[in-house]
Amino acid sequence: MKKAATIIVLILIVFTQNVKAQQGYQPTEENLKNREWFQDAKFGLFIHWGVYSVMAGGGDLGIAEWIMNNKQIPIKQYEKLPSFFNPVNFDPAEWVSMVKKAGIKYITITSKHHDGFAMFDSKSSDYNIVDRTPYGKDILKMLKDECDIQGIKLFFYHSQLDWHHPDYYPRGSTGKVFTGRPESGDWNRYIDYMNTQLTELLTNYGEVGGIWFDGMWDQWDADWQLDETYALIHKLQPGTLIGSNHHKAPFPGEDFQMFERDLPGENTMGFNQTGTISELPLEMCETMNGSWGFNIKDQDYKSVKRLIQTMVRAAGYGANFLLNTGPMPNGKIQPENVDTLLAMGKWLEKYGETIYGTRRGPLKPTDWGATTQANDGTIYIHLMNLKDENLLLPSLQSKIKSLTYFDSGEKVKFKENENGLLLKIPKEKQDRIDTILIIEI
Ligand code: FHN
């Protein structure tokens, strides 16, 4: 028994030692204000765009941006891809106008994914879109300028995991021998390189909404030096929100918590190893089909109904919905994704007040739906996939002053008893996506 206890203590020591974070971090007023903004914003667009889009998923499902690793493409061969990447149809004004029509309030775009290729004009490595592609332009700068014109915040997804940089050594669980890198390297030099690129992003692109880290899961026992990186970011832009997709409880210095392809606290996809839902602003991210990067074969698109219901359930947890698109190598967003996003925007034009600016409602999301609560105290009950006309909800533990349909303003038939709140929603009043009620208590 003693031996087991010692092992557990050792594991705990190793774990806490390796994940030094920004101990004693106190968010500034500006950061706290941005957290409120973030929680009000509710709906973001995730963009996974890189030279891997040239391969369009390589004819396999779900590996798009992972093609270098999953097809074991050595760096020498993969480095040819940028010379085929020429998104001549990229039109930031078209992207951002579509985003606004879709009711989206912020964009999170890949500045660097695991393949190590910088989608911006980096001076710390020529392995970037300006120096290595025939297109030769800084798409992040172009997108940020347009976001500033149209009032959309821009966040950068930045991979700590790097399959290209020789100093990403020791290796983790991916990007190993096949890359052709020497079995040596200076880890601290890699962290300095990563911090230098982050400094470029936080210096040359104006106000940065946030940094969305990913990739720590590649090697948990590495010394990621988060204390240094997080302190650097918060020094350069105290208002920038830091999140990290490490699938664990948030570390000091992080300003929001994200959940991958699952609602907060759920784990149907196997990513969210922690059941912890922190008090930080929350966000869940989801794909339109089964891939993050562009995958020409992946036609498994989720319906508008399913995506709206996921967004509503996320809001029921007080979480944002970051919905992903993987743009094509010609610079266009897949038309299927545009259609879906515009349909969601139409729904939000009508029902947005029940989502934007709300926080989680008094009843936890469950199979009957979710509840959200507006700043003025108004509570919205979102009923989804009703099985019949009668529905028993848990008691709200408060006297109900009024209960009406959002659409018509008509009174809802209900009875309160010791079992809870019994609703009667006639078939003709039921909406195929979300029957919204307004309750005053
Ligand atoms: O490996 C990445 C993957 O490519 C993608 O970026 C997702 C987005 O949340 N995150 C990692 C998988 O957990």
Atom of ligand 1 nearest to the CA of 157: 6
Mean pLDDT in each 10-residue stretch from start to end of the chain (441 residues)? 54 51 93 98 98 93 92 98 98 98 99 98 98 98 98 99 98 97 98 98 98 97 97 98 96 97 90 87 97 96 98 98 98 98 98 98 95 96 95 91 97 93 97 97 86
Query: Measured between alpha carbons, how far is 87 from 218 in angstroms, rounded to an integer?
Result: 30
Which H helix or E strand runs over 211?
strand 210-214
Compute the distance from residue 274 Cα to the ligand 1 centre, in Å. 17
Task: Return the pLDDT at 16.
Answer: 45
Atom of ligand 1 nearest to the CA of 271: 13
Compute the distance from residue 57 Cα to the ligand 1 centre, in Å. 15
Pocket test for ligand 1, best of 156, 214, 285 (most atoms within 8 A of CB): 214
**Is any atom of ligand 1 closer than 6 Å to the C-beta of 260?**
yes
Pocket test for ligand 1, best of 69, 119, 245 (most atoms within 8 A of CB): 245
Task: Return the pLDDT at 2.
Answer: 59
Cα dihedral sign, 19-20-25-31: negative
Query: Measured between alpha carbons, how far is 31 from 33 in angstroms, rounded to an integer?
Result: 5
Query: Measured between alpha carbons, how far is 261 from 270 in angstroms, rounded to an integer?
Result: 9
Instruction: List domains and CATH numbers for the chain.
Output: 2-358 (3.20.20.80), 369-440 (2.60.40.1180)
Scanning the structure block, which residue is given the tokens 């594991």? 11
Compute the distance from residue 342 Cα to the ligand 1 centre, in Å. 25
What burial class does residue 246 get, using C-beta atoms within 10 Å of its C-beta: 0-12 exposed, 13-18 middle, 19+ buried? buried
Q: What is the pTM of this model?
A: 0.95
Task: Return the pLDDT at 21.
Answer: 85
Compute the distance from residue 248 Cα to the ligand 1 centre, in Å. 14
Contact (CB, 8 A) for 130 and 121: yes
Which protein residue's CA is at the shortest distance from atom 7 of ligand 1?
292
**Is any atom of ligand 1 closer than 6 Å to the C-beta of 160?**
no
**Is any atom of ligand 1 closer than 6 Å to the C-beta of 65?**
yes
Compute the distance from residue 361 Cα to the ligand 1 centre, in Å. 30
Compute the distance from residue 367 Cα to the ligand 1 centre, in Å. 27
Angle between helices 187-204 and 226-236 in degrees, nearest 10: 20
**Is any atom of ligand 1 closer than 6 Å to the C-beta of 285?**
yes
Task: Return the pLDDT at 4.
Answer: 58
